[in-house]
Amino acid sequence: MSSPFHGVVVQDIDPALFPLVPPGSAGGVRPRPYSRMYGGIAVPVSDTNAAGRAEMPASAGEPAPGAAPPGAAAGPAAGGLRLMAVHAHPDDESSKGAATMVHYARAGVDVMVATLTGGERGDILNKAMDLPEVRASLPRIRREEMARAREILGVRQQFLGFVDSGLPEGDPLPPLPDGCFALQKLEDAAQPLVALVREFRPHVILTYDENGGYPHPDHVKTHEVAVEAFDAAADPDRYPGCGAPWQPLKLYYFATFHKARITALHQEMERRGLDSPYAEWLANWEDPPKGRRELEITTRIPCADYFGIRDQALLAHATQIDPESSWFAIPLQVSAAAWPTEDYHRARSLVDTGLPEDDLFAGIRERVSR
């Protein structure tokens, strides 16, 4: 997937922003091992039902679409803090806020990833995985990659069963595929997330801003659905039959690739005598982004200790991540020194707490008995 936008807070794995860097180039990529996940699997092509929900048979030991992974029921653990990250596709959870989730999971917070689609229409962005047998089994493989990533991150995860809309390209843009997630009515798209919110009962929800972070139709729809669930889950008159009402207390938007962070990484690479992959990007940065509001950074979570785990979770999505790409061009020690936090915009808060924050649960911890 690629985006023509520069100067925006980008939320997806975008090869236009993370191009391939030849191995061995100065300051270049450090190759990392990864696992091919396809193995010779042959499965039917994904189908959809009348509501646009994905229907795929689960392999042995793997949950069906929308089901909790083995040993990870959606209900909350007894007591304690709960965090939910709402994403569009498998791999999004590993490229946005992954180290934050590990930070909180290691501290005893119950963390749930809600994945709206299966990524069925995603491109294969790793040339080593661009094989006929992989393309034929891509829906199944992406679910297997997600299972590996959630294990690495130490979080729970559920697919909510919608079908990837794909990223339309061209001028004019082609219509979206019938039955895809982005074309669902808001109430239909939000219902399974409302049910999951009421079952898991998160105190904090993370998702994308109103632009989706970048204008992928599934990301924009995910924003709409997450806001709807945040607002509606506590209303007993809305979404009847989806569980007992529950009110999340805070809603945050990911703020991942903002200019201050990219500039700091670029300058630290140059200070160490290394080639930065960001020079051209920064030279072409539009500030402020045309037609888009600048996303204020309100909350910075120190989590550099878990950047390595974040990278391993990314590599688990082998169809989406080339281990030799410039996604990994910044050494971990440079990232930790230049920008040791993952950053967020606090969009909603029902508790009193000042800004800036260094804890997603600021103002909530006092309310929750541990």
Q: What's residue 1's pLDDT?
A: 36
Residue 47 resides in a domain: no
CA atoms of 93 and 7, how far apart (whole Å): 22
Are 358 and 344 in contact by the 8 Å Cβ rule? The answer is: no
Residue 213 resides in a domain: yes
Residue 6 resides in a domain: no
The domain tally of the chain equals 1
125 pLDDT more than 70: yes
Q: What's residue 311's pLDDT?
A: 97
pTM: 0.82
CATH number at residue 210: 3.40.50.10320
Rounded mean pLDDT, 251-280: 96
CA atoms of 237 and 49, how far apart (whole Å): 27
Q: What's residue 152's pLDDT?
A: 98
26 pLDDT more than 60: no
Residue, of 173 and 97, whose pLDDT is higher: 97
Q: What's residue 213's pLDDT?
A: 77
Residue 33 resides in a domain: no
218 pLDDT more than 90: yes
CA atoms of 34 and 140, how far apart (whole Å): 18
317 pLDDT more than 80: yes
- Collapsing DSSP to helix, strand or coil, 76 comes out as coil
Q: pLDDT tens-digit profile of 130-159? A: 999 999 999 999 999 999 999 999 999 999
Let me know how long the chain is.
370
**pLDDT cut 70: percent of the chain above it:** 77
Q: What's residue 289's pLDDT?
A: 65
Residue 42 resides in a domain: no
For residue 295, give both structure tokens.
Answer: 């996303």
Residue 324 resides in a domain: yes
CA atoms of 244 and 14, how far apart (whole Å): 39
Q: pLDDT tens-digit profile of 65-85? A: 333 443 345 777 646 999 999
Rounded mean pLDDT, 177-191: 97
Are 219 and 19 in contact by the 8 Å Cβ rule? The answer is: no
Residue 319's domain comprises 52-360
Average pLDDT value for the chain: 82
Least confident segment among 9-23, 277-291, 306-320: 9-23
